[in-house]
Structure 1
Amino acid sequence: MSEIILDSVIDSIKLLPFLFLTYLFMEWLEHKTGAAARKRIRTAGKFGPVWGGLLGVIPQCGFSAAASSLFAGRVITVGTLIAVYLSTSDEMFPIMISNAVPVVTIVKILTCKAVIGILSGLVLEYVYTRILKKQEPDVDIHEICEEERCHCEHGVISSAAFHTLKVFVYIFLISLALNIIIGLVGEETLAGLFTGTPIAGELIAALVGLIPNCASSVVITQLYLDHIIGAGAMMAGLLVNAGVGLLILFRLNRDRVQNLKIVGVLYGLGVFWGIIIEFAGIVF
């Protein structure tokens, strides 16, 4: 047990400098482009899902939360919101960078998420507005904005340090838990939970990904890097992983039934695309 704890501590500490530098870059990018990206989505009109998918994939802090706020204020459409949710990367990007995953692999995954986000958003938008003939009621965006709170106002360095420490704790706890489970159960048995039954891996991974916490994306990414889950399950979990965006959606959007439908659609799309990737034999 002491050896497992020591290995988990050492493995986690090795990631610290890479995590901090990655989050420092992400915070700088957010300060430089965040407002411009949100403005681009607000003014995109019927091309909202395209811009949502493209801009959502950029590693920025809290972009899914911003999209949820804009949707609650009826500034963007449901198709654009889903496109952002599906393409946003959350903690996957810094974890893969800190684990020295090849840049080509990361680009492939991000591109896949962006394409899936755009296609899904456009189809959903067409079905919602043209087939179901749905229109969102107007909401006062100023009322919504007053309810939102920003946690990145203390400067780039301190914010990056906060995110680094927070994710470091998650990585350590999850690595420790995984090492204990693997030691007790065995890596092959654990992998069998995801690969033993067709589609089960995608269904389970997507459920984990729906947890509105960065720990869920850490779990999924780590399982993939440890070769316990495949590309389909990994993508299913990361596609639905909108992070705090879902929390903001339920806090600001008063239509609870609509919120549940959005979560259901998000889960269904994540599982669907994960199955497609798995059965198509796509690897990253």
Structure 2
Amino acid sequence: MEIFLHALSHAWGDSVKMVPFLYLAYLLIEWLERHHGARIEQALAGGGRWGFVPGAVLGCVPQCGFSAVAANLYASRVITPGTVLAVFIATSDEAIPLMAAEPSQWLSLAGLIVCKTLFGMVGGALLDVPLRRVLPASLYGGYAGHADEVDCHEEHEEHSGIWLAALRHTVEIFLFILLFSLLIGLAFEWIGEDTITAALAGMGVLQPMLTALVGLVPNCATSVLLAQLYMEGAISFGSLFAGLTAGAGVGLAVLWRVNPSWKQNLFMTGLLWALGAAAGMLLQIAGF
């Protein structure tokens, strides 16, 4: 019980101080989605063969709403595979407001956003330019130059004010942060911080392969967990990058639900894992 209370006290102290930053971040996100969401979606759909450029930029907007939109637009043949890949790669879900709430992580956050944006553009360009001529049409899918029926499957909460919506998001993520901080703290107390860190460090360049696999889980809790592990020093920046590159929030779940081709869905899922793991391993080797 003493160990539990000590871990809970530590987790509560670390989590509470993030609340004001989280709330301000979610206020900005809600305002962007409500006042400019339609324009952003239009820019994504209007990119045509070069959609991977706005896709990588828009994918950086926190939360996974745009990855879900991109999945639906891809299934409706409105955007290219490279565009949806760029969005998925750039998506970091809840990791951005979480790291933004910790001033000591601002430099890492800036590097994460820049690297993921550039990597999203490169990945999308490779898939849409040279690989488009190699991949069979049944596997490539996507853009047909026109839109089929589009169903975004998104429930926008415009019935509530942005203040209340931002508060709801803040409370939800605060509870996630508190839970994971408590679990990580208990693990460190019972097993030992040095033991856990040594076990993860012992994986060497293979560590990003594991975090990329974890990143495929279609839930915002995954990005919270990865960010928490990084801020606790349990995983490297390369491993964080791998997990958040492979992770697309609920985007993958929406893709599997709305796109009828399981081959295309499996290809996109495997490609996300491979790119995330490879990029993370390179960053790990480079010492990041």
Calculate the TM-score normalised by the size of structure 1: 0.92
Partner of 1:169: 175
CA contact (8 A) 2:70 2:84 kept: yes
Partner of 1:208: 214
Query: CA-atom RMSD, angstroms?
Result: 2.0
Deviations 1:70-101 (Å, cap 9, x if unpaired)?
Answer: 11111111111010000112111111111223
Shift of 1:258: 1.7
- Is 1:271 aligned to 2:274, yes or no? no
| Residue in structure 1 matching 2:116, options 113, 117, 127 | 113
Give 2:263's match in structure 1, choosing from 251, 257, 263. Answer: 257
Counterpart position of 1:229: 235
Percent identity, aligned pairs only? 37
Q: Quote how far apart the aligned CAs of 1:26 are.
A: 1.1
Kindly indicate whether residue 80 of structure 2 is the aligned counterpart of residue 77 of structure 1. Answer: yes
Alignment-derived partner of residue 59 in structure 1: 62
Offset at residue 17 of structure 1 (A): 1.8
Shift of 1:268: 0.4
One-letter identity of the residue aligned with 2:245: L
Greater shift, 216-225 or 123-132, is seen at 123-132
Secondary structure of the residue that 1:101 maps to in structure 2?
helix
Decide which of 207, 210, 219 is 2:225's aligned counterpart.
219
What CA distance in whole angstroms lies between the structure 2 residues aligned with 1:193 and 1:73? Answer: 44
TM-score with structure 2 setting the length = 0.91
Structure 1 residues 183 and 60: alpha-carbon distance in aligned structure 2, compared to 1, 3 A threshold: closer
CA shift at 1:143, angstroms?
3.9
1:26 to 21, 24, 29: 29
Q: 1:49 to 1:34 in 2, by over 3 A?
A: same
**Equivalenced residues, count:** 281
Contact 2:68 2:250 in 1 (8 A): yes
3-state SS of 1:76 partner = coil
1:159-207 deviation line (CA, Å, top 9, x unaligned): 2112111111111111110000011111222122322023321011111
- Is 1:131 aligned to 2:134, yes or no? yes
Q: What is the CA-CA distance between 1:61 and the residue it aligns to?
A: 5.5
Output one character per residue of 1:104-124: Cα deviation in whole Å (capped at 9) or x when no partner: 432221000000110011111
Q: Are 1:67 and 1:81, in contact at CA under 8 Å, matched by a contact in 2?
A: yes
The equivalent residue for 2:193 is 187
Cα separation, partners in 2 of 1:28 and 1:194, compared to 1, 3 Å: same
Q: 1:257, 1:107 → 2: CA distance?
A: 35
Q: Which residue of 2 aligns with 1:240?
A: 246
SS in structure 1 at match of 2:203: coil
Deviating beyond 6 angstroms after TM superposition, the runs of 4 or more aligned structure 1 residues are none
Q: Deviations over 1:1-60 (max 9, x none)?
A: 212122222322222222111111111122233221211121112211111112211335
Which consecutive unaligned segments of at least 5 residues does structure 1 have? none
1:229-282 C-alpha deviation (Å, 9 max, x unpaired): 111111001111100111111111111232122111100000010011111224
Distance apart, 1:157 and its partner CA: 1.8
Distance in structure 1 (CA, Å) of the matches to 2:136 and 2:267: 16
Change (3 A) 1:139 1:88: same
Residue 35 (str. 1) matches residue 44 (str. 2)? no
Structure 1 counterpart of 2:20, from 10, 17, 22: 17
Partner in structure 2 of residue 150 of structure 1: 155
Name the SS of the counterpart of 2:207 in structure 1: helix
